[in-house]
Amino acid sequence: MPTPDKKPIDRRRFFRAALGEVFRPLSKAVAPIQRAAEQLGELHEPAAIAPKPPPAGSVPRRQSLSISATPRLRPPGALAEEQFASTCSRCGDCVQVCPVGAIKIEPGGRGGGLPFIDPVESPCVLCQGLHCMHHCPSGALLPTPLADIDMGTASFKEVDCLRSASQDCTICVDKCPVGSAALELRYGGIQVNEGCTGCGVCEHHCPTKPKAIFVIPKADPPA
């Protein structure tokens, strides 16, 4: 018989205590592994990547506001595009002296008020005297002999030409102010020669839509 001062043993508590004693060594062994796994997880957790600071002394690159977003046909005698943009004073004298009103001024924004020619609207006719380059006060347009003028180069797209539809069209060749040094009929199509000045007269008078001949400006787009 149990003595009065001793309470009956709770079986559940007895077995729970016994199991605790059995697994206690195992839990002690697992604890360091668990802590190591947690630390390893912290090491591999992706952190926010901060942008690298610019090198000391470097200047942040900004897109120039003085160069058009797309290549423009510049007046004859124009300097290379970036130099032209930095040299031109935006005075508009070239516009005033152009006898056919071919030179326009780009509106504000990326164009920055630079002079340009839209050959579809009004091409450069390579007028006698080439007034624009001789009246430029800034040196953005340099006096250049007619044979050395290089505003761009005409490009011929045969598939859009009326001659491909068996029509005897020679308008571009007939209107070219330079003549066969720039354009000539060859093998049933139009051949663009090295004498092309890129004036845009051929593009202006081409009757097709889209144009079968058009000028690719020398001016390159900004980098």
User: pLDDT by residue (tens digit) across 161-207?
Assistant: 999 999 999 999 999 999 999 999 998 899 999 999 999 999 999 99
Task: Give all domains of the chain, ordered by start, each with its CATH number.
Answer: 81-217 (3.30.70)
Whether the full predicted model's pTM is greater than 0.75, yes or no, is: no
Contact 132, 122 (CB under 8 A): no
DSSP-derived 3-state class of residue 161: coil
pLDDT in tens, 49-72: 444 444 444 333 333 334 455 789
Contact 138, 87 (CB under 8 A): yes
DSSP-derived 3-state class of residue 196: coil
How many CB atoms are located within 10 Å of the residue 19 CB? 10
Taken in order 130, 131, 137, 140, the sign of the CA dihedral is negative
The DSSP bridge pattern shows strands 152-156 and 189-192 to be unpaired
Residue bearing the bigger pLDDT, 69 or 141: 141
- Give residue 102's identity as a one-letter amino acid code: A
